[in-house]
Structure 1
Amino acid sequence: MRNKIIFIFLLTLLISSCNIVDFGNDEISCLPSSDSESYSQEYVEVAFNCEVDHYSAEQCIKIQNNNQPLELVFKWGSNTLYAKPEIGWVNGRCYILVVNGSVLKYNGSLFSVDYKCSFVYGNNNDSFTLISKPVDDTALLVSDSISFSFNHEVSYVNFNKAFKISPSEKISYSISSDQKTITITPVSGWKINTIYKWEISNLISIDNWGLSGITNGFFKIQNDIENPDLLKICPVSDTSDPTIWV
């Protein structure tokens, strides 16, 4: 009976030893580092100073953009894990690298990792900006065009996806020869006495730079006194002598 109790105790100890949390000198080092403002390598790097289970390590890594986790592509080199977004990086966008959780070592023990840093991807000396746009509250005529100029080349397809105007209008686009200025013209003219609001959201340049944040504004359309338009018909009471209408 005594031997049976000892056997059960040793078996329980053996099983539990496979899940011991290791409080040794295991650690990680990451690129970008916590003091990096920008990063331009193809992969972020997480280096372990011991041999670890690849799957458990990959589950601890997240890359976020706009507070949304991205699907990642992984590769390994010795004890270093490399990761990048499946859809690729966008220059000028802010990303957050999070390494958090428990990593399984090859000896069966676990150790905890906790690392977080934010960085802007791309060359820190460059950016994608809107350098010219309609001045807010500008009064335009019904046939006037509006223009947007950027410091990087843009495509019609990407601009069309990113640009919104309210109330909606059927519009045509023309792009300058250097592909940095887009001019918008209403097909049937703007509506008179109307305020239009426009917005450019998540625009990507041809060389894969992201326009930071959301850019918006508004303009208004003047009344065309040379081409009057009937805006409203109002009923009135008729108390006049009916003979005058003969």
Structure 2
Amino acid sequence: MCRLNNKTCFLRRFYRAAFFFPAVFGFWSCGIISLADMGIVTWPESRDQVLSEGEEIWAECSIKPETWSAESCASVRGGASQHSIDFRWDGGRMYMTPVPPLDPGRRYVLYLSGSLQAADGRTFSVQRVIPFFSVSAEGPLEIIAVSPKNGSDASPGTPLVFTLNRAVHRADFREALDVSPRSGYSLRFSEEDRVVTVTPEPAWDCNTLYTWSLGTGAGDASGITLASGRSGGFRVQEDREPPLVLSVSPAFYSSGTWLKLPGLGRKDPLLLELSEDVDLDSLAAAFSLSPVVNGSFLHPGRGRFVFLPEGEFVMDTEYLILINGELKDLAGNHCKAGFSTILRTDIPPQVVESILFMDDRPETDPVEITAEDLAAPNPVVILFGGVEPDLSLLVSINFLEPYDEPYREALTRRIQVSAFFPDFLPDPSRVSAVWSLFNTCLTLEYEGFKKSELPDPPLKPAAEKKLYRLFIPGGREFSENRNGSWLREDVRILLEAQE
């Protein structure tokens, strides 16, 4: 029983009804219902999905909608331009074709948002947002750097250089580039097609403002273009400054650029850094190496040149590099200061790391000689023995660097074990010579060693000794390997067979 006054009872009934009827009405007409319950599926179906070229965008609902209502809820946004949509229906599936077509490499968003009216009169609130990529998720082609910079001064021979974030399609770039006033020029693309050098032919006109533009037609091999066109300009002034050679250093090529090295290797290129671009023929005429190493030049970027040696740099050798006044820049200014520097090769020498000696006696451990033993001032004498009058010996020589053919065969011939004392002692015979799998160990077998006779009595002359010598030749002519290293010194070890 309601004991409150009529006004209070009326307000309570009103609020109860206000909470109940909107809930019922909202479920029926305002769409308090999940999209999954409505059976809405889309393509793209997941966030940041990549749609291949030619794939269509579509949406489908298990509840038949009014076509005009579904189309009013759908839109595709993003990219560099505005897109309208051409709709096409196939049964309950709504296909959406953006006009103009989506740009490859761009991120777009499919929106299904608003009030969706079903064919049976019901109305639902729809809210779905699906970001996706067209053709590729890499993003648009981008210009990372341009030289000369916008608004700067340049000499008549200065090239216009574009650096991009990935490889560009050459034909598209040519068509998209415009330079004004009209001028002849050539395009040179780097090996990875990421750097494009525009060289004037003939030189730019002095006291002239040049402008350039690169349209969105410039793209990569997959058709992904610049997000927007780029433009810039530079003033051409007469160049009166002579070129300067800033540095010359060993270098190697990595990830699209040339990097300096601390030491000169056997076949290392040389990176020349100059204050400006120079005439390539004049650089070749002005450049010299002593001792002579022939080669050719590359021009990978503004003020950077690379000398590619045709021959090899030699271990333990100093090279004098001279660049004389024949060097001139693109405006014809000659180098006045010249340049000279000395580079010494940094090629590690070949090393005998150890030598293992094994004789006929099964109960005797092999004798090992290390690189430290060989470096000692006193001569090394190896004593070995056996039961037979004519003894055999295995010698295993371990090198730091491998020997491949033809170096391997040449070194094998030059390593000798021969009679050393007395003069009439015959040389032992080589039975075999075998290299290890990785060509760092040579095992030689010799036989025919004569034993030294033990003094009896002890004062018997030492002339009864019989000594042999292992000889491993050093020097470039005798012990060089494919890496351009060799033994700096001969290796000599005396061998004596005993009872």
1:56 alignment partner, SS class: helix
Does the Cα contact within 8 Å between 1:62 and 1:97 map onto a contact in 2? yes
Structure 2 equivalent of residue 241 of structure 1: none
1:69 alignment partner, SS class: coil
By how many angstroms is 1:209 displaced? 0.3
The number of residues matched between the two structures is 204
Does the Cα contact within 8 Å between 1:170 and 1:188 map onto a contact in 2? no
Instruction: State the Cα RMSD in Å.
Output: 4.0
Normalising by structure 2, we get a TM-score of 0.34
Normalising by structure 1, we get a TM-score of 0.60
For the pair 1:104 / 2:117, whether they are aligned, the reply is: yes
* Cα gap change, 1:196 to 1:21, in 2 (>3 Å): farther
By how many angstroms is 1:172 displaced? 4.0
Identical-pair percentage: 20
Deviations along 1:127-153, one digit per CA (max 9) or x if unpaired, are 534466425277532244323355344
Pick 1 or 2: higher relative contact order, CA cutoff 8 A, min separation 6. 1
2:147 alignment partner, SS class: coil
Matched letter for residue 169 of structure 1: P
Matched letter for residue 159 of structure 2: S
Question: In 2, distance between residues paired with 1:188 and 1:60?
Answer: 59
Deviations along 1:44-91, one digit per CA (max 9) or x if unpaired, are 332323111233312321112347531324344553323232443322
Does the Cα contact within 8 Å between 1:47 and 1:80 map onto a contact in 2? yes
Deviates more, 1:188-197 or 1:87-96: 188-197
Structure 1 equivalent of residue 47 of structure 2: 36
Structure 1 residue runs of 5 or longer lacking an equivalent are 1-19, 228-246
Matched letter for residue 222 of structure 1: Q
2:69 alignment partner, SS class: helix
Matched letter for residue 87 of structure 2: F
For the pair 1:23 / 2:31, whether they are aligned, the reply is: yes
Matched letter for residue 36 of structure 1: R
By how many angstroms is 1:170 displaced? 0.5
Question: In 2, distance between residues paired with 1:84 and 1:94?
Answer: 16
Question: In 2, distance between residues paired with 1:67 and 1:153?
Answer: 19
* Cα gap change, 1:125 to 1:74, in 2 (>3 Å): same
Question: In 1, distance between residues paired with 2:185 and 2:124?
Answer: 57
By how many angstroms is 1:94 displaced? 2.7
Structure 1 equivalent of residue 156 of structure 2: 142
1:156-175 equivalent positions in 2, closer than 5 A:
156=171, 160-161=175-176, 163=177, 168-172=180-184, 174-175=186-187
Deviates more, 1:52-61 or 1:183-192: 183-192
By how many angstroms is 1:105 displaced? 1.3
For the pair 1:211 / 2:226, whether they are aligned, the reply is: yes
Matched letter for residue 145 of structure 1: P
1:57 alignment partner, SS class: helix
Structure 1 equivalent of residue 105 of structure 2: 92
2:204 alignment partner, SS class: coil
* Cα gap change, 1:204 to 1:146, in 2 (>3 Å): closer
By how many angstroms is 1:107 displaced? 0.9
Deviates more, 1:171-180 or 1:108-117: 171-180
For the pair 1:69 / 2:82, whether they are aligned, the reply is: yes
